[in-house]
Amino acid sequence: MEENDPDDVSYYPYMNGQFVFKHAVVRFSEAIIEGLTANNLKKEDIDMLIPHQANLRISQFIQKKFGLSDDKVYNNIMHYGNTTAASIPIALTEAWEEGKIKEGDNVVLAAFGSGFTWGSAIIKW
């Protein structure tokens, strides 16, 4: 193939969406469970889950898996899209400003992102 061949698409990015989705829901769950376990908490102790706002379907899957009602999960992806690393701080701020987080609440932050990185944090508000 000649250099600068306009038909060479070998360098185009590609994402296997199903593969990413499957790993995201597994890693999200593991990160949340690990955080809860480390703090002697159960899923019933979650007052607010603020997931990384990359994909609403992933958030909804996690919500269902943990048996959380709509008022215990904050999503804003439908307003802004994926704001990457800022998504959790933006969502956390909005949830607090809207009165959805109260003193003493257990707030779970969880993310799965680029490079297949993931993590969680639990805040006693």
Q: For 52-109, what is each residue's pLDDT tens digit? A: 998 999 999 999 999 999 999 999 999 999 899 999 999 999 999 999 999 999 999 9
What angle do helix axes 17-38 and 56-66 make, rounded to 10 degrees? 40
Could you tell me the residue range of the domain that residue 41 belongs to? Answer: 17-124
The answer to whether residue 23 sits within a structural domain is yes
**All residues at 6 or more sequence positions from 55 whose CB lies less than 8 Å from its CB, including other chains:** 21, 24, 77, 82
The answer to whether residue 7 sits within a structural domain is no
**pLDDT tier for residue 47 given thresholds of 50, 70 and 90:** very high
CATH of residue 47: 3.40.47.10
The answer to whether residue 100 sits within a structural domain is yes
The answer to whether residue 1 sits within a structural domain is no
The answer to whether residue 78 sits within a structural domain is yes
The answer to whether residue 106 sits within a structural domain is yes
User: What domain count does the chain have?
Assistant: 1
The answer to whether residue 10 sits within a structural domain is no
- CA separation for the pair 78, 7 (Å, rounded): 36
